[in-house]
């Protein structure tokens, strides 16, 4: 109950916080622009990114966050609250999944303590209302390890790894380790005589 109470308080603070900074951050504006242009003109480009050629075809950033924005903007108007809300929900889902993962090997009190320390870190709290890709990456990585812990089908795990790979270039080492580990596990199983 304490953990769910914490989640509710964090959610209420997060909802209040979504519009307390009514001016969009530079990251928010730039990350949203290609999706807005696609929604308005059905062409994938950006007028804001300084990279050469971005005004013709946007290829300055891996596509996951743009895919998300394009999909989400089909259902809502691009207000600050609407754009930030799903990122808060993803953030809360990450905490929930972390709790499930941690309680598999630690007691509940220590698990809650670790999540609270993580959640109230200044940069983590700021991320909860931003539209930065880190929110999606944290959710995907946590989801991967949670699904792996409950023996989910490899197809679903592979799909999540694929999404992580198209989220940001700095995720390539993470994806590389996951793929290499899977290859080594497969090879090891094949080499054991039955």
Could you tell me which of 27, 23, 24 has the C-alpha nearest to residue 168?
A: 27
pLDDT of res. 191:
57
Q: What is the pLDDT of residue 55?
A: 92
Q: Which residue, among 180, 155, 178, 156, has the nearest Cα to 165 in the 3D structure? A: 178
Instruction: Identify the segments of the chain with pLDDT beneath 50.
Output: 194
Reduced DSSP (H G I as helix, E B as strand, rest coil) percent helix, strand, coil of the chain, to 5: 70, 0, 30
pLDDT, position 192 = 53
- pTM equals 0.88
pLDDT at position 145: 94
Q: What is the pLDDT of residue 58?
A: 93
pLDDT value of residue 97: 96
The pLDDT of residue 190: 61
Exposure of 163 by Cβ count < 10 A (0-12 exposed, 13-18 middle, 19+ buried)? Answer: buried
| Count of beta carbons in the 10 Å neighbourhood of residue 11 | 16
What is the pLDDT, as a whole number, of residue 131? 84
Q: What is the pLDDT of residue 188?
A: 66
Using DSSP, state whether 169 is helix, strand or coil.
helix
């Amino acid at each position: 109950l304490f953990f769910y109470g914490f989640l509710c308080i964090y959610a209420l603070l997060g909802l209040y916080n979504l519009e307390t900074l009514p001016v969009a951050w530079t990251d928010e504006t730039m990350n949203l622009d290609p999706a807005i242009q696609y929604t308005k003109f059905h062409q994938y480009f950006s007028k804001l990114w300084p990279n050469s050629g971005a005004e013709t075809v946007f290829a300055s950033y891996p596509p996951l966050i743009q895919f998300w924005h394009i999909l989400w903007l089909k259902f809502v108007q691009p207000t600050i609250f609407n754009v930030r809300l799903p990122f808060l929900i993803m953030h809360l889902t990450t905490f929930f999944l972390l709790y499930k993962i941690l309680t598999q090997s630690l007691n509940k009190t220590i698990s809650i303590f670790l999540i609270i320390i993580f959640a109230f870190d200044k940069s983590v709290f700021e991320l909860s209302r931003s539209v930065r890709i880190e929110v999606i990456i944290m959710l995907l990585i946590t989801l991967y390890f949670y699904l792996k812990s409950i023996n989910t089908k490899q197809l679903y795990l592979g799909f999540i790894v694929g999404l992580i790979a198209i989220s940001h270039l700095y995720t390539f080492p993470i994806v590389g380790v996951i793929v290499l580990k899977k290859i080594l596990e497969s090879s090891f199983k094949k080499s054991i005589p039955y």
